[in-house]
Structure 1
Amino acid sequence: MNLIDVFNKIDSFIWGPPLLVLLVGTGILFTFKLGFLQITKLPQSLKLIFKAENSGTGDISSFGALCTALAATVGTGNIVGVATAIKAGGPGALFWMWIAAFFGMATKYAEGLLAIKYRVKDSNGNISGGPMYYIVNGMGEKYKPLAIFFSISGILVALLGIGTFTQVNSITDSINGSFGVDPKITGIIITILVAFVIFGGLKSISNVATKIVPFMATVYILICSLVIITFFNKIPETFILIIKSAFSPTAAFGGFLGATVSMAIRNGIARGVFSNESGLGSAPIAAAAAKTEWPAEQGLISMTGTLIDSLIICSLTGFALILSGVWQSDLNGALMTQSAFETVLPSLGPLFLTISLSLFAFTTILGWSYYGERCFEFLFGVKGINGYRVLFVLMVLLGSFLKLELVWIIADIVNGLMAIPNLIALIALSPIVISETKLYFNYINSSKDLKSTQKPI
């Protein structure tokens, strides 16, 4: 057994049933404790995306914080990850992706709330927050080792995997395949663009994210919708297939080798969590910087990130793959999604996929550069931040020259390890989440009562 096989086994263990049960279980816990808030308060949370007052202490608007978090979560997982999940687990994997996303919304709410509740200012006057801060400031100094463990994992994920190598390789391979551009040239251009943005700090990242994320999400949604409309008559039978496959084995057909129920559950939940990052602890790092006075307000805005990422974008990808029938082919990953696009746009489909994949991956690089930076700041202070940024840029450049499978596996492992201290903190601080939620909605209700009793002059 070689080294890669050893780390693959570790990776499978880390992302095995115990962690997946804990991730979904935490979401179930908050769903019941908060009275199915992801349903009852969804209209209000959607309204807040654009109408939050942005009157509190913070570095960026609530919308900017959401877009920065989405920049990191809406990525290759929405294109490649969904295809991989359905290829391995069958159409039923999409159902379990929905389950993970539904309960993940409650988890993401709790993360966003605690991020605001326990955030601090660094010595440069910038906001810092996230699991490392709500562990120390919420649970107490004696739990600092958990915060350190989370921060180290966060830095490793940012520098070695999700933030650099995997994203750069996705962009360079996609552009090389579509336009024949040398990956090294593409890599150098990406590196220059990344350096230009991240050395401007969070506000620069947020400004780029608020422009690119809505645009790229809209374009991608439109293309997937076009595929779905083309096969509109198959939607009822596709729904039945998804539900049936979620609870019974999917038979082998065409290039599809068949899948058991356990394969559907594992692939659906794992890819769903990996895509929307609910419970992993990354998104609250961006949420902490939002201008708001109310922790619960940002919690509501944060939970829409999971809705957008998984219940909308991932679902549309899944439907496009299943309706078009390409899930039964020999293709996998980005090529499968490309094939679905080609069914309605034979010449433009691959072009749109290349643009979508490149923008998704580029914004993920920006989002994770900030996550790693805040983890670095927690461990070492602000003096070394520029040094971290230089190292991050160098890793982006290196990512266009190297394809190190072992590095990707290690990054996947530490990404899973990030979740453990975060989930411990979420469960331990659940009474705070509940009390802050009650406080906010009592304020909202009293404000409405006050307005209703005021008579016009």
Structure 2
Amino acid sequence: MMDVISSIQGVVWGPVMLVLLFGTHVFLTIRTRVIQRYVFKGIKLSVTPDKEAEGDVSGFGALATALAATIGTGNIVGVATAVASGGPGAVFWVWLTGLFGIASKYGEAVLAIKYRVKGKDGAMNGGPMYALERGLKQKWLGILFAVFAGVACFGIGNGTQGNSITGMVNNTFGISPVITGIVLTVATGAAILGGVKSIAKVCEKLVPFMAGFYVLGCIIILVMNHAYLGAAVKLIVTSAFTGNAMGGGFAGATVMMAIRFGIARGLFSNESGLGSAPIASAAAMTRNSVHQGLIAMTGVFWDTIIVCAMTGMVLVSSILKNPEGMSGLSGGDLSSAAFATIPVIGPIVLTVGLICFAWSTILGWSYYGERCWVYLCGQKAIMPFRIAWTIVVFIGSIVSLDLVWGIADILNALMAFPNLVALLGLSGVIAAETKKYLFSDNLDGWSDDEVPVVDK
């Protein structure tokens, strides 16, 4: 099974996908005149409520929901897997994917607001499927995205997260994955019953806590490893272009391996170009598309530019400090070894952080998947989806990590293709909206776009 999965991964994450993904990020960076320079304006807007605007949740609530789904095991286990498989240079490509990916995340949110619709229940619905249908007039591509995302969510947003939680809890506390899986299943089922509004309320409180808690642990380790930080930065940058790994179990990594695993894990972590986050952005109370676009793109800044970069520095500096002790480790074990250097509480800090990250991802992605199935089947799909979601939480908790990661990688690529078509095909709309509201100093202006009501 793993041989088959690996073969498929080699195709979907081959040169075509890497060029298309990075190319779209760079193209939109140019088309939006380097929208990354407005990231701090976006941060300011994210904490400024726009209560008069129409939508289901606040702009920050939409961002928190997207961040909950984004900041997950990719920030911890994903980065560690990239380092183990692609060498330290993979960290550079994870970070660079995030830097340029800010433009794609911005564009996705702009299109989500521009082409969102209102369901018969009054809820806002949006995302790549609506942009493809209403913007590009290619409904078949919208259906294709919804199918891929509706299936992919069970891997990237569910199975991998539950698997990481049960693995860490078992390693740290010796609790059986079956027991942890049952607890996760019950907690998830109870949390998603209230839809996006209740999910957003949980995420608004959980995201700041979990990110701050984990970053604090990273800072402690970096202080302990301060003598190796300079060497770690140099190794990350040089290995990204030479493929020279550090040895001790990490030898043999090539430039292509660093790029492949770095970009794959970067996408898994920040989801830029994937098309998932704009589904949450579409529910935001916002006065125009650019207003929410600026807020949405800050998610990549927090997720990749800050959290993933710190994780990478923690891992590489820890390996340099203790090459023999870290040799041969991968995934969660590599992260565990790094955090174990914090006396007494290190493993607990990592485990609590991972549990919060992964569970919030399960909640956020449940909304993404639900909206995709609503697009395909209407309101009748909501309850069956929620039941299936809770069941897969348990199944994912006891499935092999390698198999889950492999399947998630493939589904990521299948989701990304139609979404990137929307971003490229509607790049003129993104540029026009940016000029209309941001570059014309009209960011507080109200959109005159009609939000149609659909019968599902």
Counterpart pick for 1:103 among 95, 100, 105: 100
1:268 maps to which residue? 262
Q: 1:423 and 1:177 mapped to 2: Cα distance?
A: 39
Q: CA deviation at 1:404?
A: 8.6
Q: CA deviation at 1:402?
A: 4.6
Change (3 A) 1:27 1:80: same
Q: 1:395 and 1:247 mapped to 2: Cα distance?
A: 40
Deviates more, 1:421-430 or 1:392-401: 392-401
Deviates more, 1:176-185 or 1:395-404: 395-404
Counterpart pick for 1:33 among 9, 31, 34: 31
Change (3 A) 1:422 1:54: farther
Counterpart pick for 1:256 among 236, 250, 256: 250
1:71 maps to which residue? 68
Q: 2:439 and 2:150 mapped to 1: Cα distance?
A: 39
1:319 aligns with 2:317: no
1:357 maps to which residue? 354
Q: CA deviation at 1:245?
A: 1.5
1:199 aligns with 2:193: yes
Q: What SS class does the counterpart of residue 200 from structure 1 fall into?
A: helix
Q: 2:248 and 2:444 mapped to 1: Cα distance?
A: 60
Counterpart pick for 1:243 among 218, 237, 244: 237
Q: Could you tell me whether the CA contact under 8 Å between 1:165 and 1:403 is conserved in 2?
A: no
Q: 1:407 and 1:316 mapped to 2: Cα distance?
A: 25
Structure 2, unmatched stretches of 5+, are 446-456
Deviates more, 1:282-291 or 1:50-59: 50-59
Q: CA deviation at 1:148?
A: 0.7
For residues 55-204 of structure 1, what are the structure 2 equivalents within 5 Å?
55-140=52-137, 143-159=138-154, 161-204=155-198
Q: 1:232 and 1:180 mapped to 2: Cα distance?
A: 32
Q: Could you tell me whether the CA contact under 8 Å between 2:95 and 2:308 is conserved in 1?
A: no
Q: CA deviation at 1:257?
A: 1.8
Deviates more, 1:265-274 or 1:419-428: 265-274
Deviates more, 1:207-216 or 1:182-191: 182-191
1:5 aligns with 2:9: no
Q: CA deviation at 1:98?
A: 1.8
Q: CA deviation at 1:432?
A: 0.5
Structure 1, unmatched stretches of 5+, are 449-457
Q: Could you tell me whether the CA contact under 8 Å between 2:87 and 2:251 is conserved in 1?
A: no
Q: Could you tell me whether the CA contact under 8 Å between 1:132 and 1:150 is conserved in 2?
A: yes
Q: What SS class does the counterpart of residue 384 from structure 1 fall into?
A: helix
Q: 1:191 and 1:445 mapped to 2: Cα distance?
A: 46
Q: Could you tell me whether the CA contact under 8 Å between 1:97 and 1:310 is conserved in 2?
A: yes
2:449 maps to which residue? none
Q: Could you tell me whether the CA contact under 8 Å between 2:164 and 2:332 is conserved in 1?
A: no
- 1:357-379 alpha-carbon deviations (Å, 9 max, x no partner): 11111111111111100000000
Q: 1:54 and 1:94 mapped to 2: Cα distance?
A: 39
Change (3 A) 1:446 1:432: closer
Q: 1:447 and 1:407 mapped to 2: Cα distance?
A: 44
Q: CA deviation at 1:182?
A: 2.4
Q: What SS class does the counterpart of residue 379 from structure 2 fall into?
A: coil
1:444 maps to which residue? 441
Counterpart residue identity of residue 125, structure 2: S
Q: Could you tell me whether the CA contact under 8 Å between 2:164 and 2:397 is conserved in 1?
A: no
Change (3 A) 1:232 1:45: same
What's the C-alpha RMSD, in Å, of the aligned pairs?
Answer: 1.9
Q: Could you tell me whether the CA contact under 8 Å between 2:160 and 2:404 is conserved in 1?
A: no
Q: TM-score, normalised by structure 1?
A: 0.92
Q: CA deviation at 1:50?
A: 0.5
Change (3 A) 1:405 1:348: closer
- 1:373-408 alpha-carbon deviations (Å, 9 max, x no partner): 000000001122112111211222333455496566
1:455 maps to which residue? none
Q: 2:101 and 2:10 mapped to 1: Cα distance?
A: 21
Q: CA deviation at 1:102?
A: 1.1
Q: CA deviation at 1:334?
A: 1.2
- 1:397-423 alpha-carbon deviations (Å, 9 max, x no partner): 333455496566444322210111110
Counterpart residue identity of residue 19, structure 1: M
Counterpart pick for 1:305 among 299, 303, 312: 299
Counterpart residue identity of residue 13, structure 1: V
- 1:233-283 alpha-carbon deviations (Å, 9 max, x no partner): 332232222222222231452232232222222222221112111001000
Q: 1:77 and 1:279 mapped to 2: Cα distance?
A: 16
Deviates more, 1:167-176 or 1:369-378: 167-176
Q: 1:51 and 1:379 mapped to 2: Cα distance?
A: 34
Q: What SS class does the counterpart of residue 285 from structure 2 fall into?
A: coil
Q: 2:217 and 2:402 mapped to 1: Cα distance?
A: 31
Q: 1:21 and 1:361 mapped to 2: Cα distance?
A: 29
Change (3 A) 1:341 1:197: same
Counterpart residue identity of residue 33, structure 1: R
Percentage of identical aligned residues: 49
Change (3 A) 1:333 1:406: closer
2:451 maps to which residue? none
1:225 aligns with 2:222: no
1:22 maps to which residue? 20
Q: TM-score, normalised by structure 2?
A: 0.92
Q: Could you tell me whether the CA contact under 8 Å between 2:87 and 2:246 is conserved in 1?
A: no
Counterpart residue identity of residue 391, structure 1: A
Q: What SS class does the counterpart of residue 51 from structure 1 fall into?
A: coil
2:44 maps to which residue? 47
Deviates more, 1:388-397 or 1:353-362: 388-397
Paired residues, what number?
441
- 1:143-177 alpha-carbon deviations (Å, 9 max, x no partner): 11111111111111123x12322221211221122
Q: CA deviation at 1:352?
A: 1.1
Change (3 A) 1:383 1:278: same
Change (3 A) 1:149 1:320: same
